[in-house]
Chain A
Amino acid sequence: MAALTRTPIDPAALTARVQAPSRGGVASFVGLVRDHHAGLAVARLEYSAYDAMAEAECARIVAEAEQRWTAGIALAHRVGMLEVGEAAICVAAAAAHRDAAFAACRFVVDEVKRRVPIWKREVYADGTDAWVDPTAVEGARPAAMHERQEAG
Chain B
Amino acid sequence: MTHTAAPTVSVHVMLFARYAEIMGADALALELPAPATVAHVVAALRARPGGAGLPVRPLCAVNLVQVPPEHPVASGDEIAILPPMAGG
> Which residue numbers of A lie inside 8 Å of B, CB to CB?
31, 47-50, 52-54, 56, 77, 88-89, 109, 112-121, 131-136, 144
A selection of 26 A-B contacts at a CB cut-off of 8 Å is: A48-B16, A48-B17, A50-B14, A50-B16, A53-B80, A54-B87, A56-B65, A88-B88, A89-B88, A112-B87, A113-B85, A113-B88, A114-B85, A116-B85, A117-B16, A117-B61, A118-B85, A118-B86, A118-B88, A119-B85, A131-B21, A131-B86, A133-B84, A133-B86, A134-B85, A135-B84
| A119 and B88 form a contact (CB under 8 A) | no
In the complex, A120→B88 CA distance in Å? 9
Can you name the residue of chain B whose Cβ is closest to the Cβ of A130? B18
How many residues of chain B get a CB closer than 8 Å to chain A's CBs?
Answer: 17
A interface SS class: mixed
Chain A residues within an 8 Å CB radius of B65: 53, 56
> Which residue numbers of B lie inside 8 Å of A, CB to CB?
14, 16-18, 21, 61, 64-66, 80, 82-88
| B86 and A132 form a contact (CB under 8 A) | yes
Given A53-B64, A112-B87, A119-B87, 16 other A-B contacts at CB below 8 A? Answer: A50-B14, A50-B80, A52-B64, A53-B61, A56-B64, A77-B87, A88-B88, A112-B88, A115-B66, A117-B80, A117-B82, A118-B85, A118-B87, A131-B18, A131-B21, A136-B84
